């Protein structure tokens, strides 16, 4: 575990050192849980967004996009339930003065039992070798059974407390489980209290004329309030979806783990409107579709899992998280939710407008049900970074740091490197850049030895480098180096576009989805 934490620290400093992610307002020592994306980060982030957007809007004839404002009429948040119920249960440790989310403390405790089981299994696997039958082991080993019983009992008690909104019981669970503050190591806890996560601000210039509005805590409501506009002007037929990418804001109290939990972050959400009664089929369908989107990146199916919710949000009749194995454990990257007709009905009620769909096939009107897929751009970014970061021992004994980014997401696709800064090599290199930059992101670099330049490109995940040498001026060929294999091949300049373009395009990922 400590080793994994080390890796995570290295990833955070790598992000800063190579222009991916900086603390916000860095010269003023940063602002808690707010981050800026640097010159490489913004490219990677844009590629992630493009991959998502195109997989939704380009590959589905019945999904269209919008871009709604961050500020919305304040009644929106009354109708959606956020004013009354968008809370986190908080608990303080009196000795360290640190504040925690009670639900997170308990979930971490559940994860500890799971870790213990996993350790027993790993130990036994080593001992029994090929003869090991995992299914038999987990159902018969007394220690595993004991951990599993404790986990299940805690799970049940926790789910009930959350569903009943029973804050005293949450505190009691923390006490009964002997959960201690990681800083002070004590169990000196306060009571659990609810805390609303929405940021407030005011519109209007005078104090009297000003009214309180919220920074949106999710992008979804911008889609719901535009349902009628889009359905009518786009003449959309159910089932259909509306996709949106945009900023969301939450006053997260426990802001830890770098860009995993931020106060200002970006979401990619798609609301899919369906006929009542068909929603659970669509829910299953979207779970599959979204998992396939993640897995097309090639990070290995074993690094993902679904986590079905025990405690359903007030609006949902089914919900699951897609979790990814981060260095700090399996964590939610995306939620897929069956939101019933809750949001549209609430907006109909609060706005007084009829928000329904007239089904021309059955001649009936109804309020559509909704399946939502909601993914955080920043969490996705973090999962890509964590999976790609690699320290590799080379045959010559040196270590290289390489970001094995999927080529389609890499900020720079091709580095063009003249061997020396003279003899017409820079000019030849620049000519290649001028030719290829319309097709993909190229970078010209002439400083330092070729070896050092390769390392810098490895560290930002650039999949290809070409070196221009004196022979190039004669034979119009360059040395093409592959980031992952470090293999070098001599290829004609005229072939570079066709060799590289397909492999680095978002289309190469999209093709895996259909």
- Note whether 443 binds ligand ATP by CB under 6 A: no
Complex with ligand ATP: residue 170 or 412, whichever CB lies closer: 170
Smallest separation (angstroms) from ligand ATP to the CB of 334: 5
Query: What secondary structure letter does DSSP report for 367?
Result: P
Rama region for 300: left / alpha / beta (φ>0; ψ in -120 to 50; rest): left
Complex with ligand ATP: residue 33 or 79, whichever CB lies closer: 33
- Note whether 343 binds ligand ATP by CB under 6 A: no
Centre a 10 Å sphere on the Cβ of residue 293 and count the other Cβ atoms it contains: 22
Please give the structure tokens belonging to residue 287.
């779970």
Instruction: Kindly tell me which residue out of 92, 334, 445, 469 binds ligand ATP, with binding defined by CB under 6 A.
Output: 334
Instruction: Kindly tell me which residue out of 267, 341, 367, 373 binds ligand ATP, with binding defined by CB under 6 A.
Output: 267
Could you write out the DSSP letters of every residue in 108-130?
HHHHHHHHHHHHHHHHHHHHHGG
* CA 139 vs CA 147, 228, 437, 508: distances in Å: 12, 53, 59, 44
| Closest listed residue to residue 269, CA positions, set 441, 471, 34, 66 | 66
Number of residues that bind ligand ATP (CB under 6 A): 16
In sequence order, the β-bridge partners of residue 370 are 273, 340
- Note whether 335 binds ligand ATP by CB under 6 A: yes
- Note whether 41 binds ligand ATP by CB under 6 A: no
Query: What secondary structure letter does DSSP report for 73?
Result: -
Q: Which stretch binds ligand ATP (CB under 6 A): 54-62, 258-266, 300-308, 444-452?
A: 258-266
Instruction: Kindly tell me which residue out of 265, 283, 286, 324 binds ligand ATP, with binding defined by CB under 6 A.
Output: 265
Instruction: Kindly tell me which residue out of 144, 213, 243, 262 binds ligand ATP, with binding defined by CB under 6 A.
Output: 262
Complex with ligand ATP: residue 250 or 443, whichever CB lies closer: 250
- Note whether 92 binds ligand ATP by CB under 6 A: no
Instruction: Kindly tell me which residue out of 45, 261, 287, 428 binds ligand ATP, with binding defined by CB under 6 A.
Output: 261
Give the contacts of 245 (CB within 8 A, at least 6 positions apart).
Answer: 49, 52, 53, 65, 67, 219, 266, 267, 268, 269, 377
Could you write out the DSSP letters of every residue in 159-201?
HHHHHTT-HHHHHHHHHHTT---TTT----B---EEEE---EE
Centre a 10 Å sphere on the Cβ of residue 305 and count the other Cβ atoms it contains: 14
- Note whether 252 binds ligand ATP by CB under 6 A: yes
- Note whether 250 binds ligand ATP by CB under 6 A: yes
Smallest separation (angstroms) from ligand ATP to the CB of 235: 30
Smallest separation (angstroms) from ligand ATP to the CB of 107: 9
In sequence order, the β-bridge partners of residue 308 are 320
Question: Which residues inside 49-68 make contact with ligand ATP, applying CB under 6 A?
Answer: none
- Note whether 36 binds ligand ATP by CB under 6 A: no
Smallest separation (angstroms) from ligand ATP to the CB of 463: 26
Give the CB-nearest residue to ligand ATP: 376
Look at strands 414-418 and 442-444 and give their pairing: parallel
Complex with ligand ATP: residue 52 or 265, whichever CB lies closer: 265
Query: Tokens 């330049």 correspond to what residue?
Result: 453
Q: Which stretch binds ligand ATP (CB under 6 A): 115-123, 206-214, 259-267, 349-357?
A: 259-267
CB-based burial of residue 472 (10 Å sphere; 0-12 exposed, 13-18 middle, 19+ buried)?
A: buried
Query: Tokens 């009992």 correspond to what residue?
Result: 153
Q: Which stretch binds ligand ATP (CB under 6 A): 5-13, 114-122, 167-175, 376-384?
A: 376-384
Smallest separation (angstroms) from ligand ATP to the CB of 378: 5
Tell me the C-alpha distance between 296 and 286, whole Å: 15
Smallest separation (angstroms) from ligand ATP to the CB of 194: 15
Complex with ligand ATP: residue 332 or 359, whichever CB lies closer: 332
Please give the structure tokens belonging to residue 239.
């089932």
Give the contacts of 15 (CB within 8 A, at least 6 positions apart).
Answer: 21, 41, 258, 385
Smallest separation (angstroms) from ligand ATP to the CB of 377: 8
Instruction: Kindly tell me which residue out of 341, 367, 374, 467 binds ligand ATP, with binding defined by CB under 6 A.
Output: 374
- Note whether 378 binds ligand ATP by CB under 6 A: yes
- Note whether 341 binds ligand ATP by CB under 6 A: no
Q: In what order do the strands lie in the sheet with 414-418?
A: 442-444, 414-418, 464-468, 477-482, 488-492
- Note whether 332 binds ligand ATP by CB under 6 A: yes
Render the burial of 367-401: b for 16+ CB within 10 Å, e for the rest.
bbbbbbbbbbbbbbbbbbbbbbbeeeeeeeeeeee
Smallest separation (angstroms) from ligand ATP to the CB of 472: 46
- Note whether 379 binds ligand ATP by CB under 6 A: yes
Binding site for ligand ATP (CB under 6 A): 218, 250, 252, 261-262, 265, 267, 332-335, 374-376, 378-379
């Amino acid at each position: 575990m400590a080793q994994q934490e080390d890796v995570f620290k290295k990833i955070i400093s790598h992000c800063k050192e190579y222009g991916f992610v900086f603390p916000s307002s860095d010269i003023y020592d940063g602002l808690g849980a707010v981050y800026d994306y640097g010159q490489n980060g913004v490219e990677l982030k844009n590629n992630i967004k493009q991959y998502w957007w195109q997989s939704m809007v380009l590959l589905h004839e019945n999904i269209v996009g919008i871009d709604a404002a961050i500020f919305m009429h304040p009644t929106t948040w009354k109708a959606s339930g956020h004013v009354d119920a968008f809370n986190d249960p908080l608990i303080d440790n009196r000795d360290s003065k640190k504040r925690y989310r009670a639900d997170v403390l308990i979930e971490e405790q559940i994860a500890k039992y799971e870790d213990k089981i996993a350790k027993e299994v790993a130990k036994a696997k080593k001992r029994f070798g090929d003869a090991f039958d995992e299914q038999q082991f987990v159902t018969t080993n007394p220690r595993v059974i004991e951990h599993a019983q404790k986990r299940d009992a805690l799970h049940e008690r926790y789910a009930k407390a959350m569903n009943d909104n029973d804050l005293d019981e949450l505190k009691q669970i923390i006490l009964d489980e002997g959960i201690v503050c990681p800083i002070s190591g004590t169990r000196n806890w306060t009571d659990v209290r609810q805390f609303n996560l929405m940021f407030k601000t005011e519109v209007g210039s005078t104090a009297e004329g000003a009214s309180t509005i919220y920074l949106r805590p999710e992008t979804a409501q911008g889609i719901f309030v535009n349902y009628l506009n889009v359905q009518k002007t786009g003449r959309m037929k159910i089932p259909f979806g509306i996709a949106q990418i945009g900023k969301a804001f939450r006053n997260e109290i426990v802001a830890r783990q770098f860009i995993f939990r931020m106060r200002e972050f970006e979401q990619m959400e798609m609301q899919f409107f369906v006929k009542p009664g068909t929603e659970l089929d669509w829910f299953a369908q979207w779970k599959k579709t979204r998992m396939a989107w993640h897995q097309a990146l090639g990070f290995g199916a074993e690094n993902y899992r679904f986590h079905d919710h025990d405690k359903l949000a007030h609006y949902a009749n089914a919900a699951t998280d897609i979790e990814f194995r981060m260095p700090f454990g399996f964590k939610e990257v995306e939620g897929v939710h069956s939101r019933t007709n809750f949001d549209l009905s609430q907006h109909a009620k609060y706005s007084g407008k009829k928000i329904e769909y007239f089904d021309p096939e059955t001649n009936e009107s109804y309020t559509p049900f909704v399946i939502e897929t909601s993914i955080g751009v920043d969490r996705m970014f973090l999962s890509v970074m964590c999976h790609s970061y690699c320290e590799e021992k080379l045959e010559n004994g040196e270590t290289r740091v390489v970001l094995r980014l999927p080529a389609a997401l890499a900020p720079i696709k091709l580095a063009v490197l003249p061997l020396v800064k003279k003899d017409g090599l820079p000019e030849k290199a620049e000519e290649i850049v001028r030719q290829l930059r319309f097709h993909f992101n190229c970078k010209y670099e002439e400083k330092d030895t070729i070896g050092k330049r390769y390392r810098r490109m490895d560290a930002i995940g650039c999949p290809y480098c070409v070196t221009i040498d004196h022979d190039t001026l004669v034979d119009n060929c360059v040395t093409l180096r592959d980031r992952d294999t470090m293999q070098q091949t001599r290829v004609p300049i005229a072939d570079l576009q066709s060799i590289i373009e397909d492999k680095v395009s978002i289309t190469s990922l999209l093709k895996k989805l259909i």
